[in-house]
Amino acid sequence: MTAEIISGTEIAKQTRARLAEEVKELKEKGVHPGLVIILVGDSPASLSYIKGKQKASEEIGVHFKLERFPESMTEEELLKVIGSYNENPVFHGILVQLPLPAQISETAVIEKISPEKDVDGFHPVNLGRMLTGQKAFLSCTPAGILEMLRIKGIDPSGKHAVVVGRSNIVGKPAGQLLLRENATVTYCHSKTGNLSEITKQADILIAAAGKENLITGKDIKPGAVVIDVGMNRNSQGKLCGDVAFDEAMEVASFLTPVPGGVGPMTITMLAQNTVEAARNTLLETGSQ
Ligand code: NDP
Protein backbone atom coordinates (compact mmCIF):
# COMPACT_ATOMS: atom_id res chain seq x y z
CA MET A 1 0.00 0.00 0.00
CA THR A 2 1.17 3.52 -0.72
CA ALA A 3 -0.43 6.23 1.35
CA GLU A 4 -2.13 9.25 -0.12
CA ILE A 5 -0.38 12.41 0.99
CA ILE A 6 -2.66 14.97 2.57
CA SER A 7 -1.28 18.30 1.40
CA GLY A 8 -1.84 20.87 4.12
CA THR A 9 -0.39 23.44 1.75
CA GLU A 10 -3.09 22.75 -0.84
CA ILE A 11 -5.98 22.62 1.64
CA ALA A 12 -4.70 25.79 3.32
CA LYS A 13 -4.66 27.54 -0.07
CA GLN A 14 -8.31 26.64 -0.70
CA THR A 15 -9.32 27.68 2.81
CA ARG A 16 -7.51 31.02 2.48
CA ALA A 17 -9.29 31.75 -0.80
CA ARG A 18 -12.62 31.26 1.00
CA LEU A 19 -11.46 33.42 3.93
CA ALA A 20 -10.39 36.20 1.54
CA GLU A 21 -13.99 36.30 0.26
CA GLU A 22 -15.30 36.45 3.83
CA VAL A 23 -12.95 39.32 4.67
CA LYS A 24 -14.19 41.19 1.59
CA GLU A 25 -17.80 40.76 2.73
CA LEU A 26 -16.99 41.88 6.27
CA LYS A 27 -15.22 44.98 4.96
CA GLU A 28 -18.30 45.84 2.92
CA LYS A 29 -20.23 45.72 6.18
CA GLY A 30 -17.72 48.08 7.79
CA VAL A 31 -15.60 45.58 9.72
CA HIS A 32 -11.94 45.09 8.76
CA PRO A 33 -10.61 42.04 10.67
CA GLY A 34 -7.43 42.91 12.57
CA LEU A 35 -4.80 40.74 14.24
CA VAL A 36 -2.03 41.92 16.55
CA ILE A 37 0.87 39.66 17.45
CA ILE A 38 2.94 40.58 20.49
CA LEU A 39 6.53 39.37 20.57
CA VAL A 40 8.77 39.73 23.61
CA GLY A 41 12.44 39.28 22.73
CA ASP A 42 13.88 38.39 19.35
CA SER A 43 13.96 34.61 19.05
CA PRO A 44 14.63 33.74 15.37
CA ALA A 45 12.25 30.75 15.62
CA SER A 46 9.44 32.97 16.92
CA LEU A 47 10.13 35.55 14.22
CA SER A 48 9.97 32.87 11.56
CA TYR A 49 6.61 31.56 12.87
CA ILE A 50 5.28 35.12 13.00
CA LYS A 51 6.36 35.72 9.40
CA GLY A 52 4.16 32.81 8.31
CA LYS A 53 1.22 34.12 10.33
CA GLN A 54 1.69 37.61 8.88
CA LYS A 55 1.82 36.25 5.32
CA ALA A 56 -1.38 34.26 5.77
CA SER A 57 -3.17 37.19 7.40
CA GLU A 58 -2.17 39.67 4.72
CA GLU A 59 -2.94 37.21 1.94
CA ILE A 60 -6.58 37.11 2.99
CA GLY A 61 -6.80 40.84 3.70
CA VAL A 62 -6.58 40.83 7.52
CA HIS A 63 -5.05 43.99 8.97
CA PHE A 64 -1.86 42.77 10.67
CA LYS A 65 0.34 44.40 13.28
CA LEU A 66 3.47 43.08 14.98
CA GLU A 67 4.19 44.73 18.33
CA ARG A 68 7.72 44.01 19.60
CA PHE A 69 9.14 44.46 23.08
CA PRO A 70 12.59 43.82 24.58
CA GLU A 71 13.43 40.55 26.34
CA SER A 72 13.63 42.49 29.63
CA MET A 73 9.91 43.40 29.60
CA THR A 74 8.15 42.70 32.91
CA GLU A 75 4.95 40.70 33.29
CA GLU A 76 3.14 43.77 34.59
CA GLU A 77 4.10 45.76 31.48
CA LEU A 78 2.97 42.98 29.17
CA LEU A 79 -0.36 42.53 30.96
CA LYS A 80 -0.95 46.28 30.61
CA VAL A 81 -0.30 46.11 26.85
CA ILE A 82 -2.70 43.17 26.50
CA GLY A 83 -5.31 45.07 28.52
CA SER A 84 -5.11 47.99 26.12
CA TYR A 85 -5.52 45.69 23.07
CA ASN A 86 -8.50 44.04 24.76
CA GLU A 87 -10.15 47.47 24.61
CA ASN A 88 -8.92 48.35 21.10
CA PRO A 89 -11.70 47.77 18.53
CA VAL A 90 -9.26 47.78 15.57
CA PHE A 91 -7.87 44.38 16.60
CA HIS A 92 -10.27 41.45 16.82
CA GLY A 93 -7.54 38.94 17.55
CA ILE A 94 -4.62 39.12 19.99
CA LEU A 95 -1.81 36.58 19.94
CA VAL A 96 1.15 36.62 22.30
CA GLN A 97 3.93 34.60 20.72
CA LEU A 98 5.18 31.83 23.00
CA PRO A 99 7.56 30.99 24.59
CA LEU A 100 7.95 34.02 26.84
CA PRO A 101 11.02 35.01 28.87
CA ALA A 102 11.23 33.33 32.30
CA GLN A 103 10.11 36.42 34.26
CA ILE A 104 6.68 36.34 32.57
CA SER A 105 4.06 33.73 33.42
CA GLU A 106 2.49 32.22 30.30
CA THR A 107 -0.62 31.34 32.28
CA ALA A 108 -1.10 34.93 33.45
CA VAL A 109 -0.65 36.19 29.90
CA ILE A 110 -3.05 33.70 28.34
CA GLU A 111 -5.67 34.45 30.99
CA LYS A 112 -5.33 38.20 30.45
CA ILE A 113 -6.34 38.02 26.78
CA SER A 114 -10.06 38.56 26.38
CA PRO A 115 -11.61 35.18 25.47
CA GLU A 116 -13.43 36.99 22.63
CA LYS A 117 -10.05 37.95 21.12
CA ASP A 118 -8.19 34.74 22.00
CA VAL A 119 -7.65 33.58 18.41
CA ASP A 120 -5.02 31.05 19.52
CA GLY A 121 -7.76 29.29 21.51
CA PHE A 122 -5.51 28.88 24.57
CA HIS A 123 -7.66 30.72 27.14
CA PRO A 124 -9.25 28.38 29.73
CA VAL A 125 -12.65 29.82 28.81
CA ASN A 126 -12.25 28.74 25.20
CA LEU A 127 -10.80 25.37 26.21
CA GLY A 128 -13.74 24.88 28.60
CA ARG A 129 -16.26 25.93 25.96
CA MET A 130 -14.69 23.47 23.53
CA LEU A 131 -14.80 20.67 26.13
CA THR A 132 -18.48 21.29 26.81
CA GLY A 133 -19.39 21.48 23.12
CA GLN A 134 -20.07 25.22 23.05
CA LYS A 135 -19.02 27.73 20.41
CA ALA A 136 -15.37 28.51 21.05
CA PHE A 137 -12.14 29.55 19.42
CA LEU A 138 -10.43 26.23 18.83
CA SER A 139 -6.67 25.84 19.21
CA CYS A 140 -5.30 26.30 15.73
CA THR A 141 -3.30 23.08 15.30
CA PRO A 142 -6.09 20.70 16.43
CA ALA A 143 -8.61 22.70 14.40
CA GLY A 144 -6.33 22.40 11.36
CA ILE A 145 -6.09 18.64 11.82
CA LEU A 146 -9.86 18.27 11.99
CA GLU A 147 -10.28 20.47 8.92
CA MET A 148 -7.86 18.30 6.92
CA LEU A 149 -9.77 15.16 7.93
CA ARG A 150 -13.08 16.79 6.99
CA ILE A 151 -11.84 17.93 3.58
CA LYS A 152 -10.44 14.47 2.83
CA GLY A 153 -13.78 12.88 3.79
CA ILE A 154 -12.26 11.00 6.75
CA ASP A 155 -14.98 10.64 9.37
CA PRO A 156 -13.57 9.94 12.85
CA SER A 157 -16.91 8.53 14.05
CA GLY A 158 -16.50 5.03 15.47
CA LYS A 159 -12.76 5.00 14.77
CA HIS A 160 -10.02 4.49 17.32
CA ALA A 161 -7.96 7.67 17.43
CA VAL A 162 -4.63 7.59 19.25
CA VAL A 163 -3.02 10.90 20.15
CA VAL A 164 0.66 10.81 21.06
CA GLY A 165 1.22 13.94 23.17
CA ARG A 166 -0.91 15.64 25.80
CA SER A 167 0.09 19.30 25.72
CA ASN A 168 -2.60 21.88 26.39
CA ILE A 169 -2.19 23.43 22.96
CA VAL A 170 -1.95 20.36 20.71
CA GLY A 171 -2.45 16.87 22.13
CA LYS A 172 -5.24 17.43 24.66
CA PRO A 173 -7.47 19.57 22.44
CA ALA A 174 -6.82 17.35 19.39
CA GLY A 175 -8.11 14.34 21.34
CA GLN A 176 -11.12 16.27 22.59
CA LEU A 177 -12.07 17.40 19.09
CA LEU A 178 -11.81 13.81 17.86
CA LEU A 179 -13.98 12.71 20.77
CA ARG A 180 -16.50 15.36 19.77
CA GLU A 181 -16.52 13.74 16.33
CA ASN A 182 -17.37 10.42 18.00
CA ALA A 183 -13.96 8.79 17.82
CA THR A 184 -12.81 6.53 20.66
CA VAL A 185 -9.74 8.35 21.90
CA THR A 186 -6.58 7.10 23.60
CA TYR A 187 -3.88 9.50 24.78
CA CYS A 188 -0.22 8.50 24.96
CA HIS A 189 2.62 10.49 26.53
CA SER A 190 6.18 10.15 27.74
CA LYS A 191 5.17 7.81 30.58
CA THR A 192 3.21 5.44 28.32
CA GLY A 193 4.94 2.09 28.66
CA ASN A 194 3.75 0.25 25.58
CA LEU A 195 3.54 3.01 22.98
CA SER A 196 3.91 0.85 19.89
CA GLU A 197 1.23 -1.60 21.04
CA ILE A 198 -1.22 1.27 21.38
CA THR A 199 -0.31 3.19 18.24
CA LYS A 200 -0.69 -0.04 16.25
CA GLN A 201 -4.38 -0.07 17.22
CA ALA A 202 -5.04 3.39 15.83
CA ASP A 203 -7.30 3.96 12.85
CA ILE A 204 -6.32 7.60 13.15
CA LEU A 205 -2.89 8.31 14.61
CA ILE A 206 -1.92 11.83 15.67
CA ALA A 207 1.80 12.15 16.38
CA ALA A 208 2.44 15.28 18.44
CA ALA A 209 5.42 14.52 20.66
CA GLY A 210 8.22 16.51 19.05
CA LYS A 211 10.49 13.46 18.67
CA GLU A 212 12.06 12.58 15.34
CA ASN A 213 11.27 9.03 14.16
CA LEU A 214 9.16 8.25 17.24
CA ILE A 215 6.63 6.52 14.98
CA THR A 216 8.07 4.04 12.50
CA GLY A 217 6.35 1.78 10.01
CA LYS A 218 5.94 -1.06 12.53
CA ASP A 219 4.09 1.26 14.93
CA ILE A 220 1.31 1.89 12.40
CA LYS A 221 -1.74 -0.24 11.69
CA PRO A 222 -2.01 -0.98 7.95
CA GLY A 223 -4.45 1.47 6.41
CA ALA A 224 -4.33 3.97 9.27
CA VAL A 225 -4.64 7.71 8.75
CA VAL A 226 -1.46 9.29 10.12
CA ILE A 227 -1.24 12.96 11.01
CA ASP A 228 2.28 14.12 11.79
CA VAL A 229 2.27 17.27 13.92
CA GLY A 230 5.90 17.14 15.04
CA MET A 231 8.34 19.80 13.95
CA ASN A 232 11.90 18.71 14.57
CA ARG A 233 15.30 19.36 13.03
CA ASN A 234 17.17 16.23 11.98
CA SER A 235 20.95 15.81 12.14
CA GLN A 236 21.28 17.61 8.78
CA GLY A 237 19.23 20.53 10.10
CA LYS A 238 16.26 19.59 7.91
CA LEU A 239 12.71 20.04 9.20
CA CYS A 240 11.06 16.69 9.95
CA GLY A 241 8.12 15.32 11.86
CA ASP A 242 7.67 12.58 14.46
CA VAL A 243 6.87 9.94 11.85
CA ALA A 244 9.42 8.05 9.74
CA PHE A 245 7.93 9.30 6.49
CA ASP A 246 9.12 6.70 3.95
CA GLU A 247 8.17 3.77 6.19
CA ALA A 248 4.78 5.27 7.00
CA MET A 249 4.09 5.77 3.28
CA GLU A 250 4.21 1.98 2.87
CA VAL A 251 1.69 1.25 5.64
CA ALA A 252 -0.73 4.15 6.09
CA SER A 253 -3.70 5.03 3.90
CA PHE A 254 -3.26 8.78 4.39
CA LEU A 255 -0.23 10.67 5.66
CA THR A 256 0.59 14.33 6.25
CA PRO A 257 4.11 15.44 5.28
CA VAL A 258 6.44 17.71 7.26
CA PRO A 259 6.80 20.40 6.05
CA GLY A 260 3.61 21.05 4.07
CA GLY A 261 1.13 19.24 6.32
CA VAL A 262 -0.21 20.46 9.64
CA GLY A 263 1.93 23.63 9.70
CA PRO A 264 0.16 25.59 6.93
CA MET A 265 -3.21 24.52 8.34
CA THR A 266 -2.32 25.82 11.81
CA ILE A 267 -1.55 29.25 10.40
CA THR A 268 -4.70 29.24 8.32
CA MET A 269 -6.88 28.38 11.32
CA LEU A 270 -5.42 31.42 13.09
CA ALA A 271 -6.56 33.57 10.18
CA GLN A 272 -9.95 31.84 10.30
CA ASN A 273 -10.32 32.53 14.03
CA THR A 274 -9.47 36.19 13.43
CA VAL A 275 -12.16 36.47 10.76
CA GLU A 276 -14.61 34.78 13.12
CA ALA A 277 -13.71 37.16 15.96
CA ALA A 278 -14.39 40.09 13.63
CA ARG A 279 -17.68 38.58 12.50
CA ASN A 280 -18.72 38.11 16.12
CA THR A 281 -18.46 41.88 16.67
CA LEU A 282 -21.01 42.36 13.86
CA LEU A 283 -23.34 39.86 15.50
CA GLU A 284 -22.94 41.64 18.86
CA THR A 285 -23.98 44.97 17.36
CA GLY A 286 -26.85 43.25 15.54
CA SER A 287 -25.85 44.68 12.17
CA GLN A 288 -25.50 41.31 10.45
P1 NDP B 1 5.15 19.64 24.14
O2 NDP B 1 6.61 19.45 24.32
O3 NDP B 1 4.41 20.64 24.96
O4 NDP B 1 4.42 18.23 24.37
C5 NDP B 1 4.96 17.05 23.87
C6 NDP B 1 4.11 15.90 24.31
O7 NDP B 1 4.66 14.69 23.78
C8 NDP B 1 4.05 15.72 25.83
O9 NDP B 1 2.75 15.41 26.23
C10 NDP B 1 5.00 14.55 26.09
O11 NDP B 1 4.64 13.76 27.20
C12 NDP B 1 4.85 13.75 24.81
N13 NDP B 1 6.06 12.97 24.53
C14 NDP B 1 7.34 13.39 24.51
N15 NDP B 1 8.17 12.39 24.24
C16 NDP B 1 7.41 11.28 24.10
C17 NDP B 1 7.68 9.93 23.84
N18 NDP B 1 8.94 9.47 23.67
N19 NDP B 1 6.65 9.07 23.76
C20 NDP B 1 5.39 9.48 23.93
N21 NDP B 1 5.05 10.76 24.18
C22 NDP B 1 6.07 11.64 24.28
O23 NDP B 1 4.96 19.92 22.59
P24 NDP B 1 3.70 20.52 21.77
O25 NDP B 1 2.48 19.75 22.08
O26 NDP B 1 3.68 21.98 21.88
O27 NDP B 1 4.18 20.18 20.29
C28 NDP B 1 4.41 18.84 19.87
C29 NDP B 1 5.15 18.87 18.55
O30 NDP B 1 4.32 19.50 17.58
C31 NDP B 1 6.45 19.66 18.55
O32 NDP B 1 7.35 19.05 17.65
C33 NDP B 1 6.05 21.01 18.01
O34 NDP B 1 7.12 21.70 17.40
C35 NDP B 1 5.00 20.61 17.01
N36 NDP B 1 4.03 21.63 16.73
C37 NDP B 1 3.69 21.79 15.43
C38 NDP B 1 2.76 22.72 15.07
C39 NDP B 1 2.43 22.87 13.65
O40 NDP B 1 1.77 23.83 13.29
N41 NDP B 1 2.84 21.94 12.78
C42 NDP B 1 2.10 23.57 16.06
C43 NDP B 1 2.45 23.26 17.42
C44 NDP B 1 3.39 22.32 17.73
P45 NDP B 1 4.60 14.31 28.71
O46 NDP B 1 3.33 15.12 28.81
O47 NDP B 1 4.57 13.09 29.54
O48 NDP B 1 5.82 15.14 28.89
| pLDDT at position 288 over 70 | no
Instruction: Provide the number of structural domains found in the chain.
Output: 2
Q: What is the residue with the minimal CA distance to atom 48 of ligand 1?
A: 190
Q: Give bridge partners of residue 68 from the DSSP assignment.
A: 39
- Counting ligand 1 atoms within 8 A of each CB, the residue from 231, 269, 272 with the most, and so the one to mutate, is 231
Q: Which residues span the domain enclosing 218?
A: 140-263
Is residue 5 in a domain?
A: no
Q: Give bridge partners of residue 232 from the DSSP assignment.
A: 240
- Annotated catalytic residue 120: yes
Write phi, then psi, for 21 (nearest 5 degrees).
Answer: -65, -45
Q: Which residues have C-beta within 8 Å of that of residue 181, sequence separation ≥ 6?
A: 146, 155, 156, 157
- Shared domain for 145 and 258, answered yes or no, is yes
Q: Which helix (DSSP H) or strand (DSSP E) does residue 110 occupy?
A: helix 106-112
Q: Which residues have C-beta within 8 Å of that of residue 280, sequence separation ≥ 6?
A: 92, 116
- pLDDT band per the 50, 70, 90 thresholds, residue 284: confident
- Shared domain for 149 and 105, answered yes or no, is no
- Shared domain for 106 and 215, answered yes or no, is no
Q: What is the residue with the minimal CA distance to atom 19 of ligand 1?
A: 190
CA 188 to chain centre: 19
- pLDDT band per the 50, 70, 90 thresholds, residue 209: very high
Q: What is the residue with the minimal CA distance to atom 30 of ligand 1?
A: 230
Contact 271, 60 (CB under 8 A): yes
Q: State the catalytic residue, choosing from 112, 118, 120, 176.
A: 120
Residues 196-212: b if buried by 16+ CB within 10 A, e if exposed: eebbbebbbbbbbbbeb
Atom of ligand 1 nearest to the CA of 267: 40
CA 79 / ligand 1 centre spacing (Å):
27
Omega of the bond prior to 101 within 30 degrees of 0, cis?
no
Is residue 23 in a domain?
A: no
- Shared domain for 144 and 258, answered yes or no, is yes
- Annotated catalytic residue 53: yes
Contact 258, 241 (CB under 8 A): yes
Looking at residue 286, its pLDDT comes to 65
Q: Which residues have C-beta within 8 Å of that of residue 237, sequence separation ≥ 6?
A: none
CA 57 / ligand 1 centre spacing (Å):
26
Strands 254-255 and 4-5, sheet pairing: parallel
DSSP string, 208-244: -S--TT-B-GGGS-TT-EEEE---EE-TTS-EE-SB-
Q: Which helix (DSSP H) or strand (DSSP E) does residue 1 occupy?
A: none
| pLDDT at position 287 over 70 | no
Is residue 98 in a domain?
A: yes
ipTM computed for the complex: 0.99
- Shared domain for 173 and 102, answered yes or no, is no
CA 211 / ligand 1 centre spacing (Å):
8
Chain-wide mean pLDDT for the chain? 97
| pLDDT at position 56 over 90 | yes
pLDDT tens-digit profile of 82-112? 999 999 999 999 999 999 999 999 999 999 9
Three-state secondary structure call for residue 16: helix
Looking at residue 111, its pLDDT comes to 98
Q: Can you give the CATH number for the domain in which 215 is found?
A: 3.40.50.720
- Shared domain for 110 and 181, answered yes or no, is no
- Shared domain for 57 and 101, answered yes or no, is yes
- pLDDT band per the 50, 70, 90 thresholds, residue 74: very high
Is residue 9 in a domain?
A: no
CA 94 / ligand 1 centre spacing (Å):
24
